[in-house]
Structure 1
Amino acid sequence: MASPSAATEYGLSSQSGQVAADSEPQSSDAPLFVNEVERAKKFLATMMDAGVVAPVPKDPGGGYTHEQHKLNYKAIYEGGQLYRITGEQKYADYVRDILLAYAELYPTLGEHPARKNSQGSGRIFWQVLNDAMWLVDSIQGYEAIRGSLSVTDRTNIDDNVFRKAAAFLSTGSAETFSKIHNHATWATAGVGMTGYVLDDKELVDIALLGLDKSGKTGFLRQSELLFSPDGYYTEGPYYQRFALKPFVVFAGAIEKNDPARKIFEHRDGILLKALRTTIQLTYDGYFFPFNDAIKDKSLQTDELYHGVAIAYSKTRDPGLLSIAQWQGRTVLTDDGKLVADDLAAGKARPFPFKSLLLSDGPEGDQG
């Protein structure tokens, strides 16, 4: 655990070990948020009826165990948010029980039997990327319920799930973690948020600055090298949509726990600029099919529900509300509630789509 001084530096609660929150999300009369809560409740009801199912990993992408573990991290995330919103203990209990199952399973896992060698083997999934995605969502759900747990359960989950997952994704997957690539963005985001929740300054530092803490790799360097000065992502708009979630979600955690870092001002506000550029790279809501993009991908994706909500909370740009209206979705957070409330209050304005010349490369000289 980090020292008391580290806890103070990162704005953490020394009593529960949870990230300190400015306020807890509350219920809303706004239809967008109401619908999101009801959608999550239906999903959790289905998951809870099935009980806790955390199978030994076996299958590649699309297989039974792969899909079940995806459902589990969605349930951990949404169950945690529902507990914060409703206060209903059943959601905290279900998230706890899933994580206790992982506390038994995770320490037994080695290289995935269906490993995808070109991407590096995961533990829960066949590639490291999916393990990182599991951690990004799961640590957010865990943060919401952690203070409700007994000391025994909290210690068990801390040590046998999240510390082990963070160690695997960082020092245990050093090659991936040190890349300037979206796989590394997901990994550093998951490890860094775990560091904040577990009050572990070391995890936060290596996530931000790389394993050697030189700043030559890590989350901050990725934000400097993966986007052009215009906010264009090096792999094109389809991957920009995918990569934005770990960038903006981790940035939100950094802002909450270390506001002096002014992460949303870093590199001339590159993350918010990238979100707006992502939206500009669509026509009628669908992404321009550059490179190997899947043509039916649109702004109606989980990554951009988070991105629009976080960006709106930082900017109050009414054009983003019209995007949320087109999406018809938001997220179960304070940011999502703000979007829904302001949309219901009639504050939306048309998003200013316009012709743009977008440079490529970190210096803007590669396209």
Structure 2
Amino acid sequence: MTISTPILLTQAEIADLRKEFGRTSLMGKTIAAHINELQDFMRLPIDVPGHGEAGGYEHNRHKQNYTYMNLAGRLFLITEQQQYADFVIALLEEYADKYLTFDFHVQKNTNPTGRLFHQILNEHCWLLYTSLAYSCVSQVMTPAQRTRIESQLFEPMLEMFTVKYAHDFDRIHNHGIWAVAAVGICGLAIGKREYLDMAVYGLARNDTGGFLAQISQLFAPSGYYMEGPYYHRYAIRPTCLFAEVLNRHMPEVDIYQYKDKVIGNTVKALLSTAYPNGQFPALNDASRTMSITDMGVQVAVSVYCKHYGIDDNLLGMAKIQDRVWMHPCGLALSRAFEQAQAQADIGIPFWPSVELNEGPDGTHGAQGFIRMQDKKGDVSQLVMNYGQHGMGHGNFDTLGITFFNRGQEVLREYGFARWVNVEPKFGGRYLDENKSYARQTIAHNAVTVDEKCQNEFNVERADSVHGLPHFFSVDSDVIAGMSAFANQHYDGLSMQRSVFMLALPELESPLLIDLYRLAGDGEHQYDYSHQYDGQIIRTNFDYVCHQEVSTLGHDNGYQHLWHIASGKPSGTALVSWLQQQTYYTWLGTSSNEHSEIVFTRTGANDPSFNLRSEPAFIYRTQGQSTLLASVLETHGYFNEEFEQSVNARGKVSNIKVIGHNEYASVVEITTSESTVTLMVSNQLSTPTSEHSVTFNHKTYQFSGHYAVEITAIKQEK
């Protein structure tokens, strides 16, 4: 039997890591934090429980067991303390004695069951981390211990993953990434190299499965992962771990250069989606609280810095994370951070604006991320989805947007309807309300047509279509914008959304401008929804608060919305609210004559209190081809403690639709000091395309995708 050596560490690298023990560097702090966490866990009695609820004690204990075995294995090498090896060995022996006595899990899920977990994905995670731990301590085990653990635990797992569940092993999915990484690493750990080959090239060795097929098909040329940042950060950890394994044990693959540096591209793409505070936008099924401090992202940042280079933004990410991967890749980042910090203060990251194309060949739409700084350095970030559906985790919100500034998400994503690992809430799994509300179009900052969900909430149909990028323009310090079409998401209707950030001298922060055009036959109801947070401060129209509330509708998410209040504005509607210490004022209008503002709150038809109670307002109008136009101004300051309120009313006074047709849309925005005329092409165009449209006997001419004219208003002396 071959005695395993550490899969991801050499003796020289271990010695380098040992030098950081006790230091205040990022690596030193990481080692100290891991020791404290591990010591706390090791005080508990060893426990290998049987089956339990998905989010219950048993599930979490198995997860804790593999997490701390993984840490203990490396800490044994770094600290040379036998107690850490003894902990790993004792737990592995307990698992070896019990594993085959467990039948397959009694609790079923949509994925195949394991012997430890209700879905095989979790068993893949267990095997990956535990195999790494085993490779760190096997040299101090007896031959009998190694035989026992390999024959009663690791080999049965490998057989289950590659034979019993062979149909699932090569599936192109984030679950597949975990499967191949776990099998390949375990194969190395127990000296069965054939499993490494199987993991890299697939069961049939014909490019239809395996790690290389996974990273070739899951990630677009831009590096974007179709399920969104939340699932990307989950898939990135086995991706980077296995890439580092291949770099060391299969150098002929040249993994960090493979497919135009796909590993580096996908790490950079994930990082570039984050808000300035490090949190990820909750695109598709996602937690609202997931951020770059996630351990998988820590691994990814360390890997990227080691193999692709270090810049100020990556150092800024490391500052937010305040930890690195406990590995030579993390040590490279830690040393670079220490050197940079000695020369100057490391600021927060400011990723440039980026459009991330989707699909294996980059032709399935895109996700747009526009960032702009105000005079004080605060970053506003605008996100728009015009890409793929996102498979089973996709939400039905093509052309939906989110908006972030002053440290908070302003136009918000609801995120998933799930209580992760809270066993009394449906075992911590996705709740029924995830389908009935959170994934529905009305739950997003988009337009819902005739109270119906995009693509009729049909995943297969949604997966067959995607958005069509129009333009992505970020070359100006004054204005940046993006535009896209979604022409197959509602029967008989084409949609175009063009969103901009405009910096005007009289405004504190960039102004968000939003033009949403819908064209088709027949009369439709358009619900232009805005998910906000905070307290309504004022409106420019009267509204009626309903003392006896009813639901806004009966299906497609409307059944979960309480109809709180409504009013009919005359002309442009204004809604202003206070969120934390900042005022936000929205002004909206349309090309139709009549409109209504409906105030809603989630929580209807929710007997188990699964939904968060959150407000929204809907601009509702009826018509045929319609242009919905709005602006959102960030302004002022409020401090309750010191009883201060500054600029609570803002400086934007109006937005007006001049006209729109199949060729172009023209709107006019008025502030206290400027009149802004924005003209946008409604057809696919080039930067040199010429446009001419006439509305109300006035001709508007411009070239390119769009044009903006800013005219100063003469002030009376």
> Would the TM-score normalized by the shorter structure come out above 0.5?
yes
Structure 1 runs (4+) deviating above 4 angstroms are: 14-18, 347-352
Instruction: State the 1:119 CA deviation.
Output: 1.3
What residue in structure 1 maps to residue 360 of structure 2?
362
Q: Deviations over 1:191-213 (max 9, x none)?
A: 01111222212211111111122
Instruction: State the 1:20 CA deviation.
Output: 7.7
Whose Rg is larger? 2
Instruction: State the 1:352 CA deviation.
Output: 5.5
> SS at the partner of 1:90?
helix
> SS at the partner of 1:252?
helix
Matched, 1:123 2:115: yes
Instruction: State the 1:26 CA deviation.
Output: 1.9
Choose which of 83, 88, 108 in structure 1 pairs with 2:81: 88
Give the counterpart letter for 2:328 in structure 1. D
8 Å Cα contact 2:74/2:136 also seen in 1: yes
Matched, 1:112 2:105: yes
CA distance in 1, matches of 2:283, 2:5: 44
Instruction: State the 1:318 CA deviation.
Output: 2.8
Matched, 1:188 2:180: yes
Instruction: State the 1:269 CA deviation.
Output: 0.4
Q: Among the aligned pairs, what percent are the same residue?
A: 29
CA distance in 2, matches of 1:169, 1:15: 23
CA distance in 1, matches of 2:302, 2:225: 20
> SS at the partner of 1:122?
coil
Matched, 1:55 2:49: yes
Give the counterpart letter for 1:354 in structure 2. P
Change (3 A) 1:298 1:20: closer
CA distance in 1, matches of 2:179, 2:89: 23
CA distance in 1, matches of 2:113, 2:3: 37
Choose which of 216, 219, 222 in structure 1 pairs with 2:211: 219
Paired residues in the alignment total: 353
8 Å Cα contact 1:60/1:125 also seen in 2: no
Instruction: State the 1:351 CA deviation.
Output: 4.7
Change (3 A) 1:282 1:351: same
8 Å Cα contact 1:312/1:321 also seen in 2: no
Q: Which moved more, 1:214-223 or 1:325-334?
A: 325-334
Give the structure with the higher percent strand.
2
CA distance in 2, matches of 1:78, 1:187: 21
CA distance in 2, matches of 1:254, 1:115: 34
Task: State the superposition RMSD in angstroms.
Answer: 1.8
What residue in structure 1 maps to residue 134 of structure 2?
142
8 Å Cα contact 2:222/2:266 also seen in 1: yes
Instruction: State the 1:322 CA deviation.
Output: 2.1
8 Å Cα contact 1:18/1:198 also seen in 2: no
Instruction: State the 1:18 CA deviation.
Output: 5.0
CA distance in 2, matches of 1:253, 1:132: 16
Choose which of 18, 26, 31 in structure 2 pairs with 1:37: 31
> SS at the partner of 1:286?
coil
8 Å Cα contact 1:48/1:94 also seen in 2: yes
What residue in structure 1 maps to residue 232 of structure 2?
240
What residue in structure 1 maps to residue 160 of structure 2?
168
CA distance in 1, matches of 2:56, 2:4: 38
Give the counterpart letter for 1:178 in structure 2. D
Give the counterpart letter for 1:304 in structure 2. V
Which has the higher relative contact order, 1 or 2, with Cα contacts under 8 A spaced 6 or more apart?
1
Choose which of 270, 283, 299 in structure 1 pairs with 2:275: 283
Choose which of 334, 338, 344 in structure 2 pairs with 1:344: 338
Instruction: State the 1:297 CA deviation.
Output: 0.8
> SS at the partner of 2:147?
helix
Choose which of 218, 221, 241 in structure 2 pairs with 1:249: 241
Instruction: State the 1:166 CA deviation.
Output: 2.0
Instruction: State the 1:131 CA deviation.
Output: 0.6
Matched, 1:331 2:319: no
Choose which of 71, 91, 100 in structure 1 pairs with 2:64: 71
Give the structure with the higher percent helix.
1
Change (3 A) 1:21 1:332: closer
8 Å Cα contact 1:264/1:271 also seen in 2: yes
CA distance in 1, matches of 2:271, 2:259: 20
8 Å Cα contact 1:30/1:341 also seen in 2: no
Structure 1 unaligned residues grouped into runs of 5+: 2-13
What residue in structure 1 maps to residue 200 of structure 2?
208
Instruction: State the 1:341 CA deviation.
Output: 2.3
Q: Which moved more, 1:143-152 or 1:316-325?
A: 316-325
Matched, 1:317 2:315: no
8 Å Cα contact 2:9/2:327 also seen in 1: no
8 Å Cα contact 1:189/1:246 also seen in 2: yes
Q: Which moved more, 1:347-356 or 1:248-257?
A: 347-356
> SS at the partner of 1:82?
helix
Instruction: State the 1:115 CA deviation.
Output: 2.5
